[in-house]
Amino acid sequence: MKRLKDNETYPCPVCRSGNVTSLFMMENTFSCQFCQHLFTADFSQQLLTMMDSEISLSWYWNGKQWSSPQRQGMELGWEYAIAGLLFVLLPSLIVGTGAYLFPPVPGTPLAWLPTAWTILTAITHCGILLWLITEYYQFPVRLYLQARWQQRS
């Protein structure tokens, strides 16, 4: 098994496009040549931690690739599922209730707008929720779509 070392080059765990190399004259500090993120390394635990992020993101080196450890203190439970559901439903219900209580005059040019606005509110909040989920689990959407597109060609 290939161990994490100071003088080696590794694939970047964030962008998965660039390479992570150690910075000159900086002890235990790495940088990606593609996305420019900075990392600190813990060689005893085979751990790489991103320095330029508000949330402490870390990855273990298993000898071939990076694996994301479970974040301590940030386990997802049923409370998050309920909060996500409320995040999508509550704004849509507020907009829909306003459209129901104050309906437009039938036959006017913009009579369709309250219904469209309610649907757009639900779609937008679903998109925000999906974006938060992909950010939490660090799923590389762009690279996945590129690989799928190349498979189809």
Domains of the chain, by residue range, sit at: 10-67, 78-152
Please name the residue ranges forming H helices in 35-153. 78-101, 113-137, 141-152
Measured from the Cβ of residue 16, the count of other Cβ atoms closer than 10 Å reads 17
* Average pLDDT of the segment spanning 22-46: 86
Pick 97 or 136 by higher pLDDT. 97
For the cut 90, the answer to whether the pLDDT of residue 119 exceeds it is yes
* Sequence-separated (6 or more) residues with CB below 8 Å from residue 53: 37
DSSP 3-state of 60: strand
- pLDDT at residue number 76: 67
* Sequence-separated (6 or more) residues with CB below 8 Å from residue 117: 95, 99
* Average pLDDT of the segment spanning 10-34: 85
Angle between helix 113-137 and 78-101 (nearest 10): 170
- pLDDT at residue number 18: 83
**Which residue type occupies 24?**
F
- pLDDT tens sequence across 72-115: 555 667 898 899 999 999 999 999 999 999 999 999 999 999 99
Give the predicted TM-score (pTM) of the model: 0.57
- pLDDT at residue number 43: 86
- pLDDT at residue number 5: 81
Rounded Cα–Cα distance for residues 23 and 31 (Å):
6
